[in-house]
Structure formats: C-alpha cells, structure tokens
C-alpha cells in the first residue's frame, strides 16, 4: 500500500497532479493557502475539463488565523426569468432537461469565489501575489495544451451521443470531430484568452464587464434564461460554516444550499451508533462498518430530502437540524441487524475536491463543479466557457422543497469538509461524486480517526457507494470488487441490495485528505482512482 506524503512548509492535494503542483509553486513563492488554492482552482478548470469549468460553482471552507473557521459560498442563483411558468410555456412540465441552453439557468459563481478568496488573502493574511501570477499556469496550459487523461477521454466517449449536438461542444471538446485520445495534446485557446482577461482586469470582469455582456448575449442565443442583469447581481458570500462535535473533534462543512449538513449528520449519527464495539473489532473493511455508515446515510438523506434547499427558502434554520436532541432522536432509528428501506432518490453528479495547508496552518477545503459531466454541454463561442447545468436539479413540482423559483439557489451536492482535531491538529478532506460525497467523507474520516489508518491508506482501501453518482445509473449499494466476497454476502443477509463494481472504480469518487498534526507535521493522501497527487515541501 502506498504511504502518505509528508511535508513541513506546505502541502496540497488535487485529483490532477498539475493542480497540486500549481498550488505548491505558489506556496514556495511565499504565497498563502488561499492564494495557492486560487492557482489550483484555475489549473484544475483547464486540466480536468470534463469535471469542472469556470462556468460552474464553488465552495470554500477555511481554517483561518487563530483556527477561526470561515468559508466562501460562490454558487449562483437561478435567472430572474427562470420560473415554472417559463418552462411550462416551452412544454416542459416534468423535469428540467440535463443538457442545452435551457439547462444553463443559474449564474456561474466560481470566478467570484476566486476573487473573494484573493481579496480575503490580502486583507487577512498579508497576501501579495497578483491574480496574474495565480492564473499563470492555467493560462499556459490552456494555450499550449494539456495531455488528455484517460478520465477525460473515456468520459467524452461515454457522453458523446448526448452532447455532440450541443452548441459549441464538438468544436471545443472533439479534435477534428473525434474524441481526443489518451496522451493527445488538447488546447483551449478561447479559454486561455478569457483567463488572461480575468487575470488582467480582475474577477469582476466575468460579471460586469465587456466579457459579461458578451456571455449574456451568447447565452440568450442558445436559449438560456440568464441575462446580463443576472450576472451583474451576483456576489460571492463570506459565511460561517456549519459545525458539529464528533469524537472530540469539531467538524465543519458548508451551509445550504450545499449538502454539507448531510456530511456532518452522517458522522454525528455514526458517533451515536450503539454497535461500535462490534464495528471496531471488525475493522475498516468490514460489513459491520459498511452497514453502520449506510444506515446513517439513509437517515441523513431523509433530513436532506425534507429540508435542504436555498437557505432563504428553508422552513427550519440549518443549525436547528444539527441540535443534539434532533440527532439523538434520529439515531434511535438505527437497526444494527437490518437494513432500513432505501428510497432510491440519489442524484448523479461530478466535481473536483482539493485541499491546501500552508506553513502557518491556514487550511482550505475547496470544491468546484459544473454538476453533470461537461455541465449543460453548452460552450459559449467567444469565451470558451462551458456553462454548468446545476439548475436542472430544481424540481418543477411546486410542492417540492427544491422547487424552481426566480433568483433561487439550487440544492448542491457539493460540500468541502474540515475538522479541527482534539489534539490541536487540522484536517481537510473531501471528494467528487454527487451523493457519494458525504459517504466517502465519512468513510475516510472514520478510517483515520477511529481505525488508525494514515490518509493514503484510508483512501486506497476499497470503498462503497449507496445510490448513484458520477458514472453510475443504478441505486444499489455498490462495493468495489476488492472487498472480501464474504462482506457482500453478509450485507445481502442484512437486507442490502449489493452490486459489485470495478476494483478501482471512479464511481466511488476521487478522494483526498490533508492533515496538519499538532506538532506542525503535514501529511496527505490522494486517490489513485484519479490523476491526482499530493505535493509537499
């Protein structure tokens, strides 16, 4: 088994090695974790184009000076014109399509998050590196080309039939009409120009300058309800993350519309699970551990499906859903020896998660997404921006908690996690993978904190997924084939519908974890299911 990577003055992890390298290059120049993450975010948008884009959203959870937690919500609202009536007039009453301009109905917020992080770096951390430096790697790679990964090639091929006719897709993501092959050089010159403009004029140009006007006009041509006024109204928001105590640690995650609350709830429920003595004896790859977490996931998803949406539209404040009394009551529904009914309501999705910790202990847990692979499939002709389809997660049912309304944030599977440990250490961790995100977060956290794994070991062990996520279409409990067959048999005996997937299956996510130990030692693990790396110095 691969060992974790260690460092002293800085460390970064990403699902593509070039993004981790961009972050550490900034740290080596004296930059802080926020500056490093801006650089990594720009690079990953170029080198993993099927997973994320500057046309998507992002969330940040930050361990700031004095271990004060903070965060940035850089997610966009639906268009002012986006309503159930707008879709009904187009004959759409069942669900919002996943692809095309009418799926591109929310503002892309991630660039505003880069700007907010850069400003916060200067104001609170003495950051000095200009945006032009932080975007330099991304601009070079977009202009000069990236080596096509197996993940990009296989995803392009798998989604080609549904995407090839979307405006701008073939011209951007195919080479002479063909799917680019692994190792080919893939250039994105229009994106390079757009990133260079943002580097020169600032992130605000994406929402209020000539670029914004151009994008708004091109969005209108493809049938999107977004307008220049929608772009101009957008701002990233500084937030205080949600918090819950678990096993002596203080866990932090993103506020709604993120499902960070779900991730916290799963771990808080597992902390109350009455059968831990059996689980501890069975180990981190046992049926007992899988069963406990799967049952916690089902209970947490019930809360999510009833309450979580744009916080401006929630009937209960998010912190109310994390009170000890509520969690205790929910935990009583655990059945240690039988599987609870599964409603099969999970959604697929893709994204990237990355982490950075600098020499001063400033830590960032970051996630950036366009929702489905290649988002809406629409690529704007002048800017080369691939626009997200996050808004297709809205329901057109007026009674649904996540029903569509103008200027509303859609529910997000995205959630970056952070833990302040009882011994004074800090951990950032996360993954891509839609509804698999809170499950994998719980898996790797417990493997490290309860079973004593090092981060790389926790990530490399075989994993599982309840429901659907990126690349998956069934709602079963999926186990990687490296699990002992006896584990699958025991889970079936408990009432789980078990399916075996690949030995190192991307469907269970691209996880990562970084830890700053109490003595200042930095340690990290990356996911071999990705093209990632941990880089430290």
Known catalytic residues are 351
How far from the centroid of its chain's Cα atoms is residue 161's Cα? 26
Residue 9 gets which letter from DSSP?
S
Query: Which of 351, 135, 106, 117 has its CA nearest to residue 234?
Result: 106
Query: Which of 159, 33, 45, 34 has its CA nearest to residue 110?
Result: 45
Count of CA atoms in the C-beta half-sphere (13 A) of 77 = 22
Helices first, then strands: H and E counts in the chain: 19, 19
Strand partners, 355: 13, 365
DSSP for 460-480? HS--EEES--TT----SEEEE
DSSP for 374-401? TTTS-B-TTT--BB--GGGGSBS-TTST
DSSP 3-state of 408:
coil
Helix pair angle (260-271, 324-331), 10° resolution: 60
In angstroms, the CA 438 to CA 442 distance is: 6
DSSP for 12-39? EEESBHHHHHHHHHHHHTT--HHHHHHH
How far from the centroid of its chain's Cα atoms is residue 17's Cα? 17
In angstroms, the CA 313 to CA 316 distance is: 9
In angstroms, the CA 398 to CA 358 distance is: 46
For every residue of 293-325, which 3-state class applies, written as one string? HHHHHHHHHHHHHHHCCCHHHCCCCHHHHHCHH
For 363, list phi and psi in degrees, rounded to 5.
-130, 145
In angstroms, the CA 74 to CA 356 distance is: 18
Alpha-carbon distance values, 86 to 131, 351, 402, 469 (Å): 39, 29, 17, 29
In angstroms, the CA 435 to CA 465 distance is: 9
User: Residue 99 is encoded by which pair of tokens?
Assistant: 């692809």
- Length of the chain, in residues: 537
Cα distance from N-terminal residue to C-terminal residue, the chain: 22
CB-based burial label for 501 (10 Å; 0-12, 13-18, 19+) = buried
């Amino acid at each position: 088994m691969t060992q974790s990577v260690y460092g002293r003055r800085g460390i970064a992890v990403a699902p593509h090695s070039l993004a981790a390298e961009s972050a550490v290059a900034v740290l080596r120049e004296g930059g802080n974790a926020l500056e490093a993450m801006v650089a990594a975010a720009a690079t990953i948008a170029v080198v993993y184009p099927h997973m994320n884009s500057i046309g998507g959203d992002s969330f940040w959870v930050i361990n700031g000076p004095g271990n004060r937690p903070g965060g940035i919500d850089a997610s966009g609202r639906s268009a002012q014109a986006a309503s159930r009536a707008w879709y009904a007039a187009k004959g759409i009453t069942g669900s919002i399509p996943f692809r095309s301009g009418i799926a591109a109905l929310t503002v892309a917020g991630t660039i505003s998050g880069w700007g907010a992080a850069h400003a916060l770096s200067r104001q609170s951390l003495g950051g000095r590196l200009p945006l032009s430096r932080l975007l330099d790697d991304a601009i070079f790679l977009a202009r000069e080309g990236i080596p096509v990964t197996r993940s990009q090639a296989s995803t392009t091929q798998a989604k080609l039939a549904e995407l090839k006719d979307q405006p701008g897709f073939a011209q951007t993501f195919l080479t002479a009409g063909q799917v680019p092959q692994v190792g080919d050089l893939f250039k994105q010159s229009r994106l390079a120009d757009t990133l260079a403009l943002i580097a020169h004029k600032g992130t605000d140009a994406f929402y209020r300058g000539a670029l914004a006007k151009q994008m708004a006009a091109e969005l209108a041509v493809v049938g999107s309800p977004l307008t220049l006024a929608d772009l101009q109204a957008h701002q990233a928001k500084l937030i205080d993350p949600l918090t819950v105590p678990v096993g002596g640690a203080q866990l932090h995650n993103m506020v709604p519309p993120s499902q960070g609350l779900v991730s916290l709830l799963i771990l808080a429920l597992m902390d109350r699970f009455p059968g831990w003595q059996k689980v501890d004896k069975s180990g981190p790859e046992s049926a007992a551990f899988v069963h406990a977490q799967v049952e916690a996931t089902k209970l947490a998803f019930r809360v999510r499906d009833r309450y979580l949406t744009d916080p401006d539209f929630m009937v209960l404040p998010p912190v109310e859903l994390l009170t000890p009394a509520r969690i205790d009551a929910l935990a009583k529904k655990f059945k240690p020896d039988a599987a609870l009914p599964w409603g099969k309501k999970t959604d697929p999705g893709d994204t990237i998660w990355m982490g950075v910790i600098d020499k001063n202990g400033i830590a960032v847990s970051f996630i950036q997404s366009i929702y489905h692979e290649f988002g809406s499939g629409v690529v704007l002709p002048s800017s080369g921006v691939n626009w997200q389809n996050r808004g297709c997660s809205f329901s057109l049912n007026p009674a649904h908690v996540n029903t569509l309304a103008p200027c509303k944030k859609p529910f997000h599977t995205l959630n970056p996690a952070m833990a302040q440990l009882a011994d004074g250490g800090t951990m950032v961790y996360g993954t891509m993978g839609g509804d698999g995100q809170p499950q994998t977060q719980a898996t790797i956290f417990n493997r490290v904190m309860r079973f004593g794994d090092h981060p790389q070991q926790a990530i490399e062990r075989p994993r599982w997924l309840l429901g659907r996520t990126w690349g998956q279409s069934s709602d079963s409990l999926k186990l990687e084939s490296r699990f002992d067959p006896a584990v699958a048999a025991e889970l079936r005996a408990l009432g789980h519908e078990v399916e075996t997937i690949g030995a190192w299956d991307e469907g269970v996510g691209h996880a990562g974890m970084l830890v700053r130990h109490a003595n200042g030692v930095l340690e990290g693990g990356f996911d071999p299911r990705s093209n990632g790396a941990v880089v430290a110095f």
